[in-house]
Amino acid sequence: MDVNEIRQDFWVLANSSLAYLDNAASSLKPKPVIDMINHYYRDLGVNIHRGVYRLSYEATDLYEKARQKVADFINCKFEEVVFTRGASSALNLVASSLGMNEIKAGDEIITSELEHHSSMLPWQNVARIKKAKLVYVPLNEEKKITVENFKKVLSDKTKIVALNYVSNAMGYITPIKEIINLAHEKGAIVIVDAAQAVPHQSVDVKALDCDFLAFSGHKMCGPTGIGVLYGKYEFLQSMEPIEFGGDMIDYVGLQEVTYKDAPYKFETGTPLIAGAIGLGGAIDYLLNIGFDFIVKQEEELRTYLLKEMKKLSDITIYNPTTETGIIAFNINGVHPHDAASVFDEDDVAIRAGHHCAQPLMHCLNQIATIRASLYFYNNKADIDKLIKAIKKAKSFFAQFM
Amino acid sequence: MSYGNLETLYRQVIMDHYKNPRNKGLKSGEDYYQVHLKNPTCGDDLTLQIKVKNNYITEVHHDGSGCSISMSAASVMSETIMGLKIEDAKKIIDNYLHMVKGEAYDAEIDMGDAIVYQGVSQFPARFKCATIAWNALDKVLEKHKVPDEK
Ligand SMILES: Cc1ncc(COP(=O)(O)O)c(C=O)c1O
């Protein structure tokens, strides 16, 4: 695989000087994915599951084939894949349905300060309303979730464990497999926020044995507005829908209703058909690139970036032991937003902010950090541009010190 | 090294106000109008206090945390509007917002040092930073209008 060839697949990168290093926020979208989306809108454009005419049949077929692609991709059954608007709505679905119906006063819900707001806030809400207790895994010195620390908060009262697989703010990989095993010994249900994992490494939900897992299409070369909730079928079947209306029903009477089986009872209304089809295209695209290549490329670039950054003075790296392509840092004495404007002038796209992880920012004692996040289409030149921009920001603001 | 556009954004005056903010620190007392504004996406956080006597702004205090543009703008704003009539302060708010958005504005209105924020119009991503203090002023002046208050 040649990165420069891969870069030609992306309109945003082809013939541009942009160093796109905000992949944790959203990845860029390659041409084959855009072609699939266009195919639906241009050649089909009709609803699914309803029409008996050929176009509708074709659209339905593509939509459901995308579901099968997701199932094969994460190693689960077809009917265990619920399409949602993204990771956030997938995580909310579990909390709103299972959480609101099963959690009782005094139950304990484990989460962490390393979570994206979308992973912890739905459970904070459940805990508040149901008078359950929200318990945080103590982070270690590096702000990592460890198995040892997880054991300290796991108890017979633990009903839910809601944790990230890869942290969007620090790039750490949670030892999720061991955590799932331990949680299951206590009969707790584990919900994995895999929004930053699925795009970058091969994920097998059966091997993990997680009960639920959520991710978004737009961070893995797919469209925005589509995501996935994986749930073990027996859980999905026993859960109440949270939205009611067209398509999700079996029989409708004046006072009673029966629902379709999962996943359809969670998919009311006309879905994002093109989005699901585009996500299927993204999976094909990623599998063609291959996770071996993706992991290797990100690791090489991360090593190079850290090496170059460590040569610079007046830089604080918050996660020098990051295990993925996410690097969080600040230029000492320069507010991250001021630095970001310098980067923007040099066509370096990074993120400055709290990364939807305010509790972690409190832990780090920072208002915000600068985050560079890599994907397989980045190259050394992108890193060199970033390093040059960091130097420029340093010298520019040094004038005023 | 040439810094191009950056030099139009980060003028010496701006960085000076950032490093040495004027009128920073809040006062206690009942006769202040106060507002607290936040920009949750970037963490800018600003509290503004003013005292008004006979329709004139007689005191301005601010406190908070954020980037150089937002914090300096609060300091510059506090100096610019001190001692002004409320109507005149409002004119400046309006004019300033037009200016940083890159829209037509009235160059005749004396905005003091606030004029140096002209460069923001080329950095639309920083618009919110440059306006948080001025939006706070707008809100605090609205409070002053509320009947039953002095
Ligand atoms: C770890 C993590 N969880 C959840 C989300 C939410 O994803 P979305 O905004 O696509 O719903 C994100 C995206 O920023 C994330 O990085």
Q: Which atom of ligand 1 is nearest to the CA of A85?
A: 11
Give the residue among A394, A340, A401 at the shortest CA–CA distance from B18.
A401
- Rounded to the nearest angstrom, the minimum Cα separation between A178 and chain B is 34
Q: Is A356 a catalytic residue?
A: yes
Q: Which of A23, A114, A116 to mutate to test the pocket of ligand 1 (most atoms within 8 A of CB)?
A: A116
- Nearest CA, atom 15, ligand 1: A195
Q: Give the pairing of strands A19-20 and A348-349.
A: parallel
- Nearest CA, atom 7, ligand 1: A87
Note whether A241 and A52 are within 8 A (CB).
no
Whether the pLDDT of residue B149 is over 70: the answer is no
Phi, psi of A275 (to 5 degrees): -65, -45
Annotated catalytic residue, options A76, A221, A356, A363? A356
Ligand 1 centre and the CA of A102: distance in Å? 25
Q: Which atom of ligand 1 is nearest to the CA of A194?
A: 1
Reduce the DSSP state of residue A262 to 3 states and report it.
coil
Whether the pLDDT of residue B42 is over 80: the answer is no
Domain boundaries, chain B: 6-145
Ligand 1 binding pocket includes A324 (Cβ within 6 Å): no
Give chain A's end-to-end CA distance (angstroms, integer).
46
Structure confidence at residue A241 (pLDDT): 98
- CATH second-level architecture of B6-145? Alpha-Beta Complex (3.90)
Q: Tell me the H-state helices in A75-217.
A: 87-94, 100-102, 117-130, 147-153, 176-185, 205-208
pLDDT digits (tens, 9 = 90+) for A73-126: 999 999 999 999 999 999 999 999 999 999 999 999 999 999 999 999 999 999
Mark yes or no for CB contact A345/B18 under 8 Å: no
Give the residue among A294, A353, A362, A356 at the shortest CA–CA distance from A324.
A294
Give the residue among A125, A97, A103, A102 at the shortest CA–CA distance from A266.
A97
Among A19-23, A164-168, A338-342, B40-44, the least confident range: B40-44
- Rounded to the nearest angstrom, the minimum Cα separation between A48 and chain B is 38
Note whether A196 and A219 are within 8 A (CB).
yes
Ligand 1 binding pocket includes A195 (Cβ within 6 Å): yes
Ligand 1 centre and the CA of A354: distance in Å? 13
Mean residue pLDDT across chain A: 96
Task: Give me the residues paired with residue A108 across strands.
Answer: A133, A158
Q: Which domains does chain A have, with CATH numbers?
A: 3-22+290-398 (3.90.1150.10), 33-287 (3.40.640.10)
How many angstroms separate the CA atoms of A34 and B135, rounded? 41
Mark yes or no for CB contact A340/B125 under 8 Å: yes
- Nearest CA, atom 16, ligand 1: A168
Instruction: Find the mean pLDDT for residues B30-37.
Output: 93
Look at B125 and A69; give whichever has higher pLDDT.
Answer: A69
